[in-house]
Structure 1
Amino acid sequence: MFHDITVSDLLAKKDQEPHTIIDVRSPKEFKEATIPGSINIPILNDEERAEVGTIYKQAGKEAAMEKGLAIFSKKLPEFIGEFKKVETPMTVFCWRGGMRSKTTATVLDLMGIRVNRLNGGIRSYRRWIVNYLETGRFHPELLVLNGYTGTGKTIILQKLKEKGYPVIDLEEMAGHRGSIFGQIGLTPSNQKKFDAALVTEMLKYENERFVFIEGESKRIGRVYLPDIIYDKKEKGLQIFIDLPLEERVKNIIEEYEPWNYPERFQEAFRLIKKKIHTPVAKEIESYLENGKFIQAVKLLLEYYYDPRYEYSASHFPESQKITIQADSVDDALTKVLETIQRANIGIK
């Protein structure tokens, strides 16, 4: 017989041994939000779930259950076959620990395949995440990378992570680069996905002394930073990186690849056009329309992003700031590492 387990039990199992978490909801539900690291083996696909839902509204619960069972029974061998491929202990879940996960666990048990079932489903996991963000504590201090737009902060974070340093990449989890153009070419996360990914990283690094993070505003694209991280970020050591303007323009062009999304860049610019002096705004718009992205980015930095950044950075006291002058991203990375070594920060 299968066992019901709590979220805390599940997280403990993940830490102790290889463990596979399986979301049996539809692919659409899985895509919207799931438990990080889960795989999707759905009982019903999106179209089948919609069909059963319509029957539920029109004919009631019993008729919907009969239809769902009829659909599921036809694909049962294939469904069980997917679970047989899993070589580790397993936990299954659905929306609230109801019919879908119970059916899955019961059928697998009859076939001699042992699984756990998450009590309360993903709803219980979401409640656990929210409670952790509201009442939990994150012990590491934060080393916060700041700098004008284009200083390569995200690239530096990635390189630090490759070297084994603890890093939480907020923009990667948000699916957004934090600017008005930040969503272009990316898939923005919703708050549920962001919170789950963030807590997963926080638990991973909770025993570290320090964690690198990028200086962000309260909102990144569609998501908001929880106070547990935002407040600690504001109190952390602020490392300001200063690169030459030409280098920053080059970094932005390489990262955003605006020639792949010219119309979207023009659309995004219209959202801030009124905030820039009219003659300059018209010049930027003309550059974007004609594919002169280097010139457009240079003016955007000089007349929009840099002034805004200077204002936002001014509230940190000098005792909390370290400024690094560098010629390139690689030079900045080297100097960041030298800086934290001089400051005797006890990380790798």
Structure 2
Amino acid sequence: MTSRVDTSDYARLFLADIPLLDTRAPVEFLAGAFPSAQSLPLMSDEERAAVGTCYKNQGQEAAITLGHELVSGELREQRLASWQQFAEDNPNGYLYCFRGGLRSQLVQQWLAESGVDYPRITGGYKAMRRFLIDTLDTLANEADIILVGGATGTGKTRLINALPRSIDLEGLARHRGSAFGRLLEEQPTQINFENAVAIALLKLSQSKGPVILEDEGQLIGRLALPASLRARMSEAPLVVLEYSIEERVQVVLEDYILDLGERYRRAHGDAGPGVHRERLLGDLERTRKRLGGERHQHIATLMESAFDLQQQTGSAEGHRDWIRPMLADYYDPMYNYQLSKREGRRLCSGDRESLKAFLTERCDAA
């Protein structure tokens, strides 16, 4: 079997979703990582801190000696076994540390001594992260971006996910982009979000055609769109989904009551409906200032009644009564204002099927 060599071909790693063995400490991994990476650290956070202090006070040789003392015996064997298992499960993978230095070299050496030849990534996490930052900025400026706009409830994400040359920014951010957009999962870190967006753009750049994105604000939940992408989106052309208020109420009912409610039920069992209820009431509370006290209280009362009815009868129909004024009094004024400020030209308007056909034709013509 031919031995694989170390690599600095970062584009290939991300384009092929190559499995990555991250040997950095857990705290480093949590701060920022890559979608295909698994955290199997050489040292714990405490061990890393101790070695860092030793390096600062006594120099590199003493720090290396301490590292070997801390990761030795049974602990060393346990960690080596986890790396061996990763290598066996992912024969096409690579390992790395922060800069491609001592930690990844040591893990590679210990694996080699155990009979496992496993390549590492030169430059490590720092070089890969720099590559993705530069890639994102370059591709954001070069991409032929078309935005999908439309009022809340028109099903923009549904259209995005039906198109091959699209990026679901809200999916990558794990947030639906509205006051009620929080999901059960925590949002990724800002770094992880940026990494995921850069990789998605890199993959689309391998073929010709427009990049289709939802028309987002500066923030998706607590995550900021990368500045270069946001600047490019601000002037990009737009297609606009248009549906009646009742059709939009139906989409919101499906997404935020039926779908989200089922997610809470799966996650929390019998307690799920109560958790779902409290989450939406909490989200509604954050809209009080813009709605005004009287309208907020009216909608809150309607929401409480809808959940009561759903609990008693199993019917979600009562939720239409609060969704309708929420769209009319809260979301639509904001959307109309934002649309009036857009610089990009409007290409066309219509329902999801007509816009899907229009955008597919644009993609095929590229």
Shorter-chain TM-score bucket reads 0.7 to 0.9
Q: Which residue does the alignment assign to 1:294?
A: 320
Q: State the distance in 2 between where 1:317 and 1:127 align.
A: 31
Say if 1:221 and 1:14 are closer, same or farther in 2 by CA, change over 3 A.
Answer: closer
Q: State the distance in 1 between where 2:52 and 2:124 align.
A: 23
2:315 paired with 1:271: no
Pairing partner for 1:52 from 47, 56, 64: 47
2:181 paired with 1:155: no
Which structure: greater strand fraction?
1
2:108 paired with 1:105: yes
Check the 8 A contact 1:21/1:91 in 2, yes or no: yes
2:339 paired with 1:337: no
Q: State the distance in 2 between where 1:250 and 1:13 align.
A: 42
Check the 8 A contact 1:236/1:320 in 2, yes or no: no
Cα deviation, 1:91-138, whole Å, max 9, x if unaligned, reads 101233344322211112223422222233212222222233345555
Say if 1:20 and 1:345 are closer, same or farther in 2 by CA, change over 3 A.
Answer: closer
Check the 8 A contact 2:51/2:67 in 1, yes or no: yes
How well do the aligned residues superpose, as a CA RMSD in angstroms?
3.0
2:106 paired with 1:90: no
Q: Which residue does the alignment assign to 1:310?
A: 336
Q: State the distance in 2 between where 1:28 and 1:122 align.
A: 14
Q: CA shift at 1:84, angstroms?
A: 4.4
Which structure: greater helix fraction?
2
SS at match of 2:234: helix
Q: State the distance in 2 between where 1:58 and 1:340 align.
A: 57
Q: Which residue does the alignment assign to 2:7?
A: 5
What is the aligned-residue identity percentage? 24
Amino acid at match of 2:47: V
SS at match of 1:100: helix
Q: CA shift at 1:319, angstroms?
A: 4.6
Cα deviation, 1:67-89, whole Å, max 9, x if unaligned, reads 12345423156225414423533
Q: Which residue does the alignment assign to 1:234?
A: 234
Q: State the distance in 1 between where 2:296 and 2:222 align.
A: 26
SS at match of 2:21: strand
Q: Which residue does the alignment assign to 1:171?
A: 170
Moved more, 85-94 or 167-176: 85-94
Say if 1:220 and 1:246 are closer, same or farther in 2 by CA, change over 3 A.
Answer: same
SS at match of 1:143: strand
Say if 1:178 and 1:209 are closer, same or farther in 2 by CA, change over 3 A.
Answer: same
Q: State the distance in 2 between where 1:317 and 1:13 align.
A: 37
Check the 8 A contact 2:18/2:36 in 1, yes or no: no
Q: State the distance in 2 between where 1:77 and 1:54 align.
A: 21
Check the 8 A contact 2:21/2:93 in 1, yes or no: yes
Say if 1:54 and 1:95 are closer, same or farther in 2 by CA, change over 3 A.
Answer: closer
Q: CA shift at 1:37, angstroms?
A: 2.0
Say if 1:103 and 1:345 are closer, same or farther in 2 by CA, change over 3 A.
Answer: closer
Say if 1:264 and 1:87 are closer, same or farther in 2 by CA, change over 3 A.
Answer: closer
Q: CA shift at 1:335, angstroms?
A: 0.8
Check the 8 A contact 1:141/1:232 in 2, yes or no: no
How many residue pairs get aligned? The number is 329
Q: Which residue does the alignment assign to 1:253?
A: 253
Q: CA shift at 1:157, angstroms?
A: 1.3
Structure 2 gap segments, 5+ residues each: 56-62, 262-272, 308-317
Q: Which residue does the alignment assign to 1:133?
A: 136
Check the 8 A contact 1:91/1:118 in 2, yes or no: yes
Q: Which residue does the alignment assign to 1:322?
A: 348
Check the 8 A contact 1:96/1:119 in 2, yes or no: yes
Q: State the distance in 1 between where 2:190 and 2:84 align.
A: 34
Cα deviation, 1:271-292, whole Å, max 9, x if unaligned, reads 2202113321111122233325
Check the 8 A contact 1:154/1:169 in 2, yes or no: yes
Q: CA shift at 1:304, angstroms?
A: 0.6
Q: State the distance in 2 between where 1:197 and 1:218 align.
A: 17
Q: CA shift at 1:29, angstroms?
A: 4.6
Moved more, 91-100 or 171-180: 91-100
Q: CA shift at 1:54, angstroms?
A: 6.2
SS at match of 2:120: strand
Q: State the distance in 2 between where 1:226 and 1:73 align.
A: 40
Q: State the distance in 1 between where 2:25 and 2:247 align.
A: 46
SS at match of 2:238: strand
Moved more, 199-208 or 257-266: 257-266
Structure 1 gap segments, 5+ residues each: 327-331
2:200 paired with 1:201: yes
TM-score with structure 2 setting the length: 0.78
Q: State the distance in 2 between where 1:58 and 1:316 align.
A: 52
Q: State the distance in 2 between where 1:312 and 1:74 align.
A: 58
2:296 paired with 1:281: yes
Moved more, 211-220 or 289-298: 289-298
TM-score with structure 1 setting the length: 0.82
Q: Which residue does the alignment assign to 1:329?
A: none
Amino acid at match of 1:108: L
Say if 1:338 and 1:281 are closer, same or farther in 2 by CA, change over 3 A.
Answer: same
Q: State the distance in 2 between where 1:340 and 1:136 align.
A: 20
